[in-house]
């Protein structure tokens, strides 16, 4: 290795993005289930007892997660979103669960979830009210943090509705401290940048010090246009947000909607592949009690989950686009690379893409070992930089591959980009 290259290694090892929130959590992107996109604010337990926001819903989800391989695949957090509380705080000013829908209370629910070897997430808001109009935490940060800790809650999703934008950062930071002061490690999921972007560019150094993950952009809907808009936003802001991600803190592009109604199977594969590439939290919002076997298999695909959970903890990003294709790449441990090729043309049939056109294919000099994971598993064997491998990608589908360099001196050839920090660069035009 040359002296300059050696220096580069040292610099890149010494300067991780920024300090992450030091609560020992979210060292890999969080995996679990979150009720919002699928069950929203359904509080009508009289006519829809199976789907309303009630303790029963989370208990049933936890049961299924254990019985049907979800827990084993890595999905761990069972998360409550908005609409769980009573509209009134109790006599001591504490939040309380709606007594009709959560007759056992949250502590009992947490005990149940823990008895299954899973973790419980809850939801609150930095402002006066939650987005659905339930009591907000402004003025009650210490009290609410302590209440959640007393209930043995493991994760807090903290929304940003009904908050003076000028105090937003202060509010998120104060709650982070309040959670820390309880002494219970509680994973802290924020929406700080989402609510700040309309005003100014968020300070991701401060956000990473404060939160374990943070929403940047709109809520995901059960539609391809929604998933696409999230990918477009992420690529457009990747120079700003990608360097902020790493063990302890992640960009959160919102829930996986795989297994619902709005995405074709190819689109579901695209969401799964790209959420893994983006090192996103993998929080499913679907009905695990009734999910199609193909969606289940996709969500439990170990090879894709391994890309998401890779120990190096680097967020991947879009490296090339053109001809209605996008290439996204994520550096993995052991000098490997994951490459996703998204076909954005929503007409016609499968189109071929020469994988050699992916910028990261460089690591194939002199040789590499290639495995295709999506759309189907295929060992492509040892290839060279000159190999012409055409992968077939369906409209709005994604081909996902991993590439392992076979070479002692690939570092010299590849200049360490994949090991170092995020490299700002112009997109390659395909």
Ligand X SMILES: *[C@@H]1O[C@H](CO)[C@@H](O)[C@H](O)[C@H]1NC(C)=O
Lay out the sheet containing 155-159: strands in order across.
250-252, 213-215, 187-190, 155-159, 119-125, 77-79, 31-34, 282-284
**Residue entry with tokens 């957090």:** 77
Tokens of 153: 């809650």
User: Shortest distance, CB of residue 19 to ligand X, whole angstroms?
Assistant: 9
User: Shortest distance, CB of residue 182 to ligand X, whole angstroms?
Assistant: 7
User: Shortest distance, CB of residue 188 to ligand X, whole angstroms?
Assistant: 9
* Active-site position among 63, 128, 219, 232: 219
Helices vs. strands in the chain: H and E counts, helices first: 15, 17
If you write DSSP's letter for every residue of 204-241 in order, what string do you get?
Answer: HHHHHHH-SEEE-SPPP-SSHHHHHHHHHHHHHTHHHH
User: Shortest distance, CB of residue 18 to ligand X, whole angstroms?
Assistant: 8
Residue 100, classed as helix, strand or coil, is coil
Q: Which residues contact 134 (CB under 8 A, 6 or more apart)?
A: 82, 83, 84, 85, 87, 125
- In whole angstroms, what is the distance from residue 327 CA to residue 329 CA? 7
Interacting residue ranges for ligand X, rule: CB under 6 A: 22-23, 167, 170-171, 174, 180, 183-185, 203, 205-206, 209, 369, 371, 379, 382
* Active-site position among 82, 98, 154, 159: 159
Q: Which residue is nearest to ligand X (CB)?
A: 23
**For ligand X, the closer CB: 232 or 306:** 306
User: Is-catalytic flag, 219?
Assistant: yes
**For ligand X, the closer CB: 290 or 379:** 379
Residue 351, classed as helix, strand or coil, is strand
**For ligand X, the closer CB: 35 or 119:** 119
- Burial class from Cβ neighbours inside 10 Å (0-12, 13-18, 19+) for residue 306 reads middle
User: Shortest distance, CB of residue 244 to ligand X, whole angstroms?
Assistant: 11
- In whole angstroms, what is the distance from residue 341 CA to residue 273 CA? 9
DSSP 146: H
- In whole angstroms, what is the distance from residue 282 CA to residue 258 CA? 11
DSSP 73: H
- In whole angstroms, what is the distance from residue 63 CA to residue 304 CA? 24
- Max CA-CA distance within the chain? 72
C-alpha distances out from residue 325 to 316, 340, 350, Å: 17, 10, 12
**For ligand X, the closer CB: 235 or 370:** 370
User: Shortest distance, CB of residue 430 to ligand X, whole angstroms?
Assistant: 26
DSSP 188: E
**For ligand X, the closer CB: 212 or 285:** 212
**For ligand X, the closer CB: 248 or 281:** 248
User: Is-catalytic flag, 324?
Assistant: no
**For ligand X, the closer CB: 194 or 230:** 194
- In whole angstroms, what is the distance from residue 53 CA to residue 37 CA? 12
**Residue entry with tokens 């789907």:** 51
**For ligand X, the closer CB: 125 or 287:** 125
Question: Cβ–Cβ contacts within 10 Å for residue 231, how many?
Answer: 22
User: Shortest distance, CB of residue 355 to ligand X, whole angstroms?
Assistant: 15
User: Shortest distance, CB of residue 32 to ligand X, whole angstroms?
Assistant: 19
State the catalytic residues: 159, 219
């Amino acid at each position: 290795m040359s002296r300059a290259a050696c220096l580069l290694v040292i610099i890149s090892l010494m300067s991780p993005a920024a300090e992450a929130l030091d609560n020992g959590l979210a060292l890999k992107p969080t995996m679990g289930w979150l009720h919002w996109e699928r069950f929203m604010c359904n509080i009508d337990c009289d006519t829809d007892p199976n789907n309303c926001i009630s303790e029963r819903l989370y208990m049933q989800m936890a049961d299924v997660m254990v019985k049907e391989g979800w827990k084993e695949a890595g999905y761990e957090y069972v998360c409550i979103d908005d609409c769980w509380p009573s509209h009134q705080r109790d006599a001591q000013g504490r939040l309380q669960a709606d007594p009709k829908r959560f007759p056992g209370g949250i502590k009992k629910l947490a005990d149940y979830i823990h008895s299954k070897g899973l973790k419980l997430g809850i939801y609150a808001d930095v402002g006066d009210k939650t987005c659905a109009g339930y009591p907000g935490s402004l003025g009650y940060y210490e009290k609410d943090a302590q209440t959640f800790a007393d209930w043995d809650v493991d994760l807090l999703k903290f929304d940003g509705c009904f908050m003076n934008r000028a105090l937003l950062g202060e509010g998120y930071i104060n709650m982070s401290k309040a959670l820390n002061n309880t002494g219970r490690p509680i994973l802290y999921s924020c929406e700080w940048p989402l609510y700040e972007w309309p005003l100014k560019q968020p300070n991701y150094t401060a956000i990473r010090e404060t939160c374990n993950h943070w929403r940047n952009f709109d809520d995901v809907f059960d539609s391809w246009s929604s998933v696409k808009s999230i990918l477009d936003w992420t690529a457009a802001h990747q120079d700003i947000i990608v360097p902020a991600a790493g063990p302890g803190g992640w960009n959160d592009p919102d829930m996986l909607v795989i297994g619902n109604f709005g995405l074709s199977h190819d689109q579901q594969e695209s969401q799964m592949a790209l959420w893994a590439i983006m090192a996103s939290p993998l929080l499913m919002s679907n009905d695990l009690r009734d999910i199609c076997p193909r969606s289940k298999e996709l969500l439990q695909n170990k090879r894709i989950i391994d890309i998401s959970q890779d120990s190096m903890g680097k967020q991947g990003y879009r490296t090339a686009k053109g001809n209605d294709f996008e290439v996204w790449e994520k550096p993995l441990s052991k000098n490997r690379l994951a490459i996703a090729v998204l076909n954005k043309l929503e007409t016609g049939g499968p189109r071929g893409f020469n994988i050699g056109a992916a910028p990261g294919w460089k690591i194939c000099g002199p040789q590499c070992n290639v495995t295709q994971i999506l759309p189907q598993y295929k060992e492509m064997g040892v290839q060279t930089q000159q190999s012409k491998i055409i992968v077939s990608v369906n409209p709005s589908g994604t081909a996902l591959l991993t590439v392992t360099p076979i070479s002692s001196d690939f570092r010299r050839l590849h200049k360490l980009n994949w090991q170092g920090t995020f490299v700002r660069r112009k997109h390659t035009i395909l």
